[in-house]
Structure 1
Amino acid sequence: MQLLNLNIEGYRSLKNITWHPGKLNVLIGPNGSGKSNLIKALSLMVEACKGKLYETLVNTGGVYPLLWDGQVDTIKWNLELVSDDKSLEYGFSLKYRLKSGTYFIQKETLKNKSDKKELLPSELLELNKKVPVDLSSPLYSGEYSEGKYSFTETIYSQMSPVEDQVYRAFRRWINEITLYHDMPVGENAPIRRSSLLRVEKKVSSDGQNLIPVLHTLYSSNRDFKSDIDMAMNAAFDSEFVELVFPPAEDQRIQLKIIWKSMKRPQGMADLSDGTIKYLLLLAILANPEPPAMIIIDEPENGLHPAMLPVIAEYAYAASERTQIVLSTHSAELLNCIGEFNPTVTVFKNESGETNLKNCDGAELERWLQKYTLGKLFLSGNLEELL
């Protein structure tokens, strides 16, 4: 399923915004404009759906710092997901009690908006006034006592699975959406060490399982191997030969690169931070079975400019299989990805409140006749479209 729109109210600088992403998305705007707040708000909603709301809030300083300018007591999320034959809406409100410093889930709804009768029930979950009510599901009907659920977590995260196509589709989307923000690749990062030999097909949010993912896909999927090989040769002037995975101690494996001009393979300890970051992005974007949504914060960091056209091309290719979101400050990356007509969302902070808008239509086309997307970003003229 694809995210059609996301509405957030009362979260940090997001007083009341609605985001309409496409398949390939680029988020741009100056520091402090609200790009990170949008990503963090979406991430918090996902953690809430996994039953980790309380844990996440404790680790990030509680609810009060998240409230818009300290002037509201409620944060609201509402999203709509669509596919060729399904449509659903999910949302909830988090109410903060200032006097006691506590919070609870005030209202939560999961709706099937599809027209086809076989996708009923139309209401899978509804929570109002702290009493969850399911209006039509044959498995979950009637009112539940307040003692059955913890209201510091979403009711969705505490429900037993429902045998419904739309419910399963939403569960898959929530479980798979992945945010890549902090992926340590420095000298002492775990990513540089040998890894246990195990089958893994998805790069984790911190990127530290890169070796088993590359070993699994590079060794078993011919198309994935070809994509990695082409991308490496594009960035390294055809010096690249292949990846190899020699055994290490205790049933572990290493990752090494064979170069044409070197007599021995180069191990992870000897690779530059930028090369490892590049491999990470390739493993994420070339994945034949990607997660339901991929969000990468500032993918350009640490990369040589020669790598950016490849990342843009692979992001576009990945957007044919899943939804891609890139947040960037790089004019070079914007120039590269502009060739693929992404959905460009511009952020601007005015008096502590984030405004955002998808830049498209005739006015953007007029600007692009004179400037590349990167030059337009640097000029500041994109913000004038808000």
Structure 2
Amino acid sequence: MLTTLAIANYRSLRELILPLGALNIITGANGSGKSNLYRGLRLLAMTAQGGLVPSLAREGGLPSTLWAGPERFSRAMLAGEQPVQSTVRKDPVNLRLGFAGEAFGYAIDLGLPLLSRSQFSQDPVIKRECIWSGPVLRPSALLVDRQGAAIRLRDECGGWSTVPQPVASFDSMMTEFSDPKGAPEMIAVREQIRSWRFYDHFRTDEQAPARLPQIGTHTPVLSNDGADLAAALQTIREIGDLVELDTAIEDAFPGARIGVANVEGRFEVTMHQHGLLRPLKGAELSDGTLRYLLLVAALLTPRPPALLVLNEPETSLHPDLLPALARLIQRASKRSQVLVVSHATRLVTALERESDSCSIVLEKELGATRIVGSDEMDIPPWKWPAR
């Protein structure tokens, strides 16, 4: 389980260090930085997928994603006695992402390339990557260290060996180097990150894939767009927890039950509702009902991830469905670490009642996202690797 998430110089996240628990609720007013936190976490996940630099490019590259305020705020600026203005830069330009848990920690530092005639001169380059043991980076805990193109590995005797093959400036060592004997920690961290799942704004319009019959195969993990909803629900029925599935449907829609129609290998969701003579097909379900079924399939997966992230799951749901959704999320947090980004008061309040929940309220101060009411004692220890 992750205990700390750290993001620096990404959009409004000038430097945000979050404590994490089993069930995490991120909330705050519109514009407080919730979406930036979600996007920053997704960006961190791309290090293990080989898509970090392309993902940044789609956002406009470093110039569009870097923190746009001053490097430091003076006391006079914070007190409102002096207007916010640029200061003399002391640190190199960087965008940094990292996390830590009881077993391992990981951090990556991206910066600007040196002057080059290449057509790709706008691509950010990876300056430093580190994996360490334990929750805090210390020189003695460092296990894998990438500086520029070179990777060093800690050996069994505590010394260092250098990987002979250099890594390209635009590639993370997580995808470009694999040695189960020399660097088992890297493989463990990479597979941990690859198991993370993100669900954000499922489509529920008339042409949404989840409404239409789809070829069905065993689907223990719902796809990001929910196109394989029917197959995912049928997989839960056959190899997952059928009692939990029926309970989740009954909790939200008393007297209802779902089914999966199979016509020549194409699966389609059906829903039997009290008082109706025939089941409703996926195309007939309301947006809120379809979205709830998608969340059920995501949260009751027979293959729980290390981390499950939901961004505004309350979208299109009637407020009366939010307590049932909260109970579903709470049950999922017993199998996976869960992070929910939401501004639905009813959902947030229900989740905060759980004993193992960690509620974080964000706000902006001079354009920078911060945790409401936090002080140095509340922030977990964190140290960024130096260049």
Report the AA paired with residue 210 of structure 1: L
1:207 aligned residue: 226
Deviations 1:136-179 (A, max 9, x none): 269x963346x732110211211124246644432232111111
* Counterpart contact for 2:214–2:268, Cα < 8 Å: yes
Aligned counterparts of 1:158 and 1:109: Cα–Cα separation in 2 = 14
Report the AA paired with residue 171 of structure 1: R
Aligned counterparts of 2:69 and 2:294: Cα–Cα separation in 1 = 39
- Cα 1:144–1:220 shift into 2, 3 Å: closer
Aligned counterparts of 1:69 and 1:220: Cα–Cα separation in 2 = 49
2:385 aligned residue: none
Taking the TM superposition and a 5 Å limit, the aligned residue runs for 1:99-110 are 100-110=121-131
* Counterpart contact for 1:183–1:208, Cα < 8 Å: no
- Cα 1:126–1:194 shift into 2, 3 Å: same
Report the AA paired with residue 349 of structure 1: K
1:47 aligned residue: 46
* Counterpart contact for 1:343–1:358, Cα < 8 Å: no
1:226 aligns with 2:243: yes
2:195 aligned residue: 176
* Counterpart contact for 1:76–1:94, Cα < 8 Å: yes
Report the AA paired with residue 187 of structure 1: E
1:154 aligns with 2:172: yes
1:9 aligned residue: 8
User: 1 or 2 for the larger relative contact order (CA 8 Å, sep ≥6)?
Assistant: 2
1:80 aligns with 2:97: no
Q: Which stretches of structure 1, 4 residues or more, deviate above 6 A after TM superposition?
A: none
* Counterpart contact for 1:180–1:296, Cα < 8 Å: yes
* Structure 1 residue 71 displacement after superposition: 5.3
Q: Say which SS state the counterpart of residue 245 (structure 1) adopts.
A: strand
Q: Say which SS state the counterpart of residue 102 (structure 1) adopts.
A: coil
Aligned counterparts of 2:98 and 2:53: Cα–Cα separation in 1 = 19
* Structure 1 residue 278 displacement after superposition: 0.6
Deviations 1:360-380 (A, max 9, x none): 9xxxxxxxxxxxxxxxxxxxx
Aligned counterparts of 1:168 and 1:155: Cα–Cα separation in 2 = 11
- Cα 1:280–1:49 shift into 2, 3 Å: same
Report the AA paired with residue 101 of structure 2: L
* Structure 1 residue 66 displacement after superposition: 0.8
Residue range with higher mean Cα deviation, 351-360 or 36-45: 351-360
Report the AA paired with residue 12 of structure 1: R
Taking the TM superposition and a 5 Å limit, the aligned residue runs for 1:241-256 are 242-249=257-264, 251-256=265-270
Q: Which runs of 5+ in 2 are unaligned?
A: 72-92, 116-120, 376-387
| Residue of structure 2 aligned with 1:264, choices 268, 274, 278 | 278
Aligned counterparts of 2:344 and 2:206: Cα–Cα separation in 1 = 25
Report the AA paired with residue 126 of structure 2: I
- Cα 1:161–1:42 shift into 2, 3 Å: farther
Aligned counterparts of 2:163 and 2:235: Cα–Cα separation in 1 = 46
* Structure 1 residue 48 displacement after superposition: 2.0
1:377 aligned residue: none
1:69 aligned residue: 68
1:378 aligned residue: none
Q: Say which SS state the counterpart of residue 160 (structure 1) adopts.
A: coil
| Residue of structure 1 aligned with 2:351, choices 323, 326, 337 | 337
- Cα 1:159–1:122 shift into 2, 3 Å: farther
* Counterpart contact for 2:363–2:369, Cα < 8 Å: yes
- Cα 1:356–1:232 shift into 2, 3 Å: same
Aligned counterparts of 1:68 and 1:98: Cα–Cα separation in 2 = 20
* Structure 1 residue 294 displacement after superposition: 0.9
Aligned counterparts of 1:8 and 1:34: Cα–Cα separation in 2 = 12
| Residue of structure 1 aligned with 2:152, choices 133, 136, 145 | 133
* Counterpart contact for 1:124–1:137, Cα < 8 Å: no
* Structure 1 residue 291 displacement after superposition: 1.0
* Counterpart contact for 2:100–2:134, Cα < 8 Å: no
1:36 aligned residue: 35
- Cα 1:19–1:257 shift into 2, 3 Å: same
Aligned counterparts of 2:105 and 2:353: Cα–Cα separation in 1 = 33
Report the AA paired with residue 31 of structure 2: G
Q: Which structure has more helix as a fraction of its residues?
A: 1
TM-score by length of 2: 0.82
* Counterpart contact for 1:312–1:333, Cα < 8 Å: yes
| Residue of structure 2 aligned with 1:142, choices 156, 161, 176 | 161
% same residue: 28
1:318 aligned residue: 332
* Counterpart contact for 1:122–1:136, Cα < 8 Å: no
Deviations 1:268-319 (A, max 9, x none): 0001110011111112222343111111111111112221111111211111
1:280 aligns with 2:294: yes
1:300 aligns with 2:314: yes
* Counterpart contact for 1:344–1:359, Cα < 8 Å: no
Q: Say which SS state the counterpart of residue 124 (structure 2) adopts.
A: strand
* Counterpart contact for 2:143–2:185, Cα < 8 Å: no
2:105 aligned residue: 89
Compute the RMSD of aligned alpha carbons: 2.6
- Cα 1:55–1:268 shift into 2, 3 Å: same
Aligned counterparts of 2:207 and 2:114: Cα–Cα separation in 1 = 43
Q: Say which SS state the counterpart of residue 168 (structure 2) adopts.
A: coil
